[in-house]
Chains A and B, each alone.
Chain A
Amino acid sequence: MGLFRLPPLPREGVPRSATALEPSRTASKIVPEVMIASSLLLHAPITRTAPQGAVSPAREKRRTMTDEALVGRIAEGDHDAFAALYDRHSAVVYGVARRVLGDGPQAEDIAQSVFLQVWTRPELFRGGSFAAWVARVARNAAIDVLRSAAVRLREPELSDDVEAAVCTEDEVFARVSAEAIATALAALPDEQRGPIERAYFRGLSYREVAEEIGAPVGTVKSRIRTGLRRLSDSLREAVTP
């Protein structure tokens, strides 16, 4: 059975190929199979996760690594790093999917897909806050499921250039606590929070929101914008030095 060995693997620490390192500028615009095939991240053997209960030094080390470092390890096939990232972020990913799709297998399926995508295409994360990014990925995936039977589809993501320019704003999440986020949300007036949640978790357009709550379109637009600004400002104020 020696004939069936896997292809030769590069030495430890060899960087991924240039193709894999480059932001996939066209990934969202080309046909799905090409997009999938472009994930050339399979150069390293799988590091199997140690059995639960046994905490190996390597596993212990993963617990103190930054999200960014863990994502880097995933690109090298580090299963322990993947497990550590799952342990850190599964509550948010699952929670967002559950908020959109309700209790049930769909939310679990989405959470699983999101993590498997992180595993197979870690290069999609371009920096900023992994937590904010993966929360968004989960929201978008869940909304796609919600809307798959509806008329209005989600608009495609923005171009990579814009993405690169705006993802640094997310870095605020590396320096605010979960309590600070909760406080910021609690301070948001219901009249702003309501329309934002309807759009974000139910996938409604601002016009649909206006219709649902019986408010003028202009009012809804401005409440959403004001609310989002307010949230973001509170987070910045809560940043710990």
Chain B
Amino acid sequence: MTTTHDESMLELAALRAIDALDAEEAKLVDAHLAQCAVCQAEYARARAGAAALAMAQASKAPPGLRDRVLHSAVRVRRITAWYQHPAIPSAIAAALIIGVAGTWLIAHRTPSISQWAASCVHVSAPCGGAVTRAQGVLRFESHGLPRLAAGKVYQAWLLHGKNAPIPEPTFTVDEGGNGAIDIPGTAARGDAVAVTAEPAGGSRAPTSAPILVVTLE
């Protein structure tokens, strides 16, 4: 569907391409852009110009980042591979938790304070967090997590090796997306903590993809 082109919108279409309009103007321009091929072309040109500016900023990423990204990807996939899986029967889940927790208790002896930063898997809601371990207690804290719809809560999961994610406590966040929970049990090096959105009361197995992932390395 096209509508009559409005010359005065051309300049605003270009400004929209670099996101330089106020909210109300942007709304106006978006409505016009949806219907005007001439302004769409202007927008596309301006956006390509801005992309050139962005691409010219290339700067070699720090060497450690590659490993962080590639390792996180494996962990993210491990938990997402589970979220379409029907919830595992509770008895099996419990048995698994006991089995794995036993392994961790043996593996984990370090009493010092450590902290690991979370990776956000969801760029449209910039969020972050960290897992801290002090005197053997794991504590997870988040910031910037989006508010959830009624009936939903965040839930943490512990990932150990190739085992099913271990359900951990659920939590809600304040207006700044801040939330915190203690994670019972201990973890070994290489384990990960992930956070998903779940129905109130929590789930036995993840039902959505992770939003935050922390690798304890």
A6 touches B81 (CB 8 A): yes
Given contact pairs A90-B66, A112-B65, A7 touches B81 in the complex (Cβ within 8 A): yes
Q: How many A-B residue pairs have CB under 8 A?
A: 294
Given contact pairs A40-B84, A148-B126, A205-B21, A115 touches B69 in the complex (Cβ within 8 A): yes
Give a binary string over B183-194; 1 marks a CB under 8 Å from any A CB, 0 the rest. 000000000000
Given contact pairs A42-B80, A117-B122, A143 touches B68 in the complex (Cβ within 8 A): no
Q: How far is the CB of B66 from chain A (nearest CB, A)?
A: 6
Among candidates B72, B85, B207, B209, residue contacting A39 with C-beta atoms closer than 8 Å? B209
**Contacts A92-B57, A112-B69 given; 13 further ones with Cβ under 8 A?**
A33-B149, A82-B70, A108-B61, A111-B65, A112-B120, A113-B123, A119-B73, A129-B51, A131-B51, A135-B54, A155-B16, A181-B55, A231-B49
Say yes or no: is B97 at the interface (Cβ < 8 Å to chain A): no
- Taking Cβ atoms with an 8 Å cutoff, the residues of B that contact A are 10-12, 14-23, 26-27, 30, 33-34, 37, 40-41, 43-62, 65-66, 68-70, 72-74, 76-78, 80-85, 88, 92, 96, 117, 119-126, 128, 144, 146, 148-149, 152, 163-164, 196-197, 207-209, 211, 213
A98 touches B80 (CB 8 A): no
Given contact pairs A31-B149, A169-B48, A235-B52, A225 touches B11 in the complex (Cβ within 8 A): yes
- Taking Cβ atoms with an 8 Å cutoff, the residues of A that contact B are 3-4, 6-7, 28, 31-33, 35-37, 39-40, 42, 46, 48-49, 77, 79, 82-83, 86-87, 90-96, 98-99, 105, 108-117, 119-120, 129, 131-132, 135-141, 143-145, 148, 152-155, 158-159, 161-162, 165-170, 172-173, 178, 181-182, 184-185, 196-197, 199-200, 203-207, 209, 221-222, 224-225, 227-233, 235
User: What A residues does B148 contact at CB under 8 A?
Assistant: 31-33
B52 touches A92 (CB 8 A): no
A144 touches B126 (CB 8 A): yes
B125 touches A95 (CB 8 A): no
A42 touches B149 (CB 8 A): no
User: What B residues does A82 contact at CB under 8 A?
Assistant: 70, 73
User: What A residues does B68 contact at CB under 8 A?
Assistant: 108, 112
A154 touches B121 (CB 8 A): no
B51 touches A36 (CB 8 A): no
Among candidates A33, A143, A161, A172, residue contacting B197 with C-beta atoms closer than 8 Å? A33
User: What A residues does B10 contact at CB under 8 A?
Assistant: 225
Given contact pairs A162-B33, A162-B34, A228-B18, A98 touches B59 in the complex (Cβ within 8 A): yes
The answer for the CA separation of A221 and B78 in the assembled complex, in Å, is 48
User: What A residues does B122 contact at CB under 8 A?
Assistant: 32, 36, 113, 117
